[in-house]
Amino acid sequence: MRDEVDGLVEAWRAERPDLDIEPLQVLSRVSRLARHLDRARRAVFTEHGLEPWEFDVLAELRRSGPPYEMSPGRLLRATLVTSGTMTNRIDRLATAGLVRRHPDPADKRGVLVRLSAEGQERVDAALSALIEYEESLLGEMPPAERERLATLLRSLLSPLDEPAPEAGV
């Protein structure tokens, strides 16, 4: 079985025999897979009337468990965006009726963002469609191979996901 990366690697080996092209064997495939997944996820989310960022915020709220609410600060840390971006996103989701803001009983100046019934229905439907699509991608891969692949990818990704050390520490 050959793929696009095989041709890319062969061409680089011919043009740059002085370089060890081996990392391209893995990382170019990961990169291409990420692009395919991004396009497919966008299509699934569009079918459910969501942008990828909307799914991200709604999914974070849904995973938080009942009552499916979080502070804007927790949401921005979880979704890795700035405060201004999160405020804009919450505004847009609230206007669409997918979330509601209400006062934080533990902080008189704070608010909590709660997933609405419509938001929960939309994110649940999008997630179900996404899982169905992703299951089709894995196809006939046996469970043991899936687990091994997940372990290998985790070992590659884990160091990249570690928080950066604090400045001055």
User: Given this model, what pLDDT does residue 79 score?
Assistant: 87
Regarding beta strands 69-70 and 99-104, do their DSSP bridges make them parallel or antiparallel, or are they unpaired? unpaired
Residues 123, 115 contacting (CB under 8 angstroms): yes
Residues 99 and 113: beta-carbon distance below 8 Å: yes
pLDDT in tens, 80-134: 899 999 999 999 999 999 999 999 998 888 999 999 999 999 999 999 999 999 9
Residue 169 has pLDDT above 60, yes or no: no
At residue 67, the 3 state secondary structure works out as coil
Q: Got the DSSP string for 91-144?
A: HHHHHTTSEEEEEETTEEEEEEEEE-HHHHHHHHHHHHHHHHHHHHHHTT--HH
Contacts of 9 (CB under 8 A, 6+ apart): 21, 24, 25, 28
Q: How many residues does the chain have?
A: 169
Taking 80 as the threshold, does the pLDDT of residue 167 lie above it?
no
Q: pTM for the full model?
A: 0.81
**Domain chopping of the chain, boundaries:** 1-47, 50-138
In CATH, what class is 50-138? mainly alpha
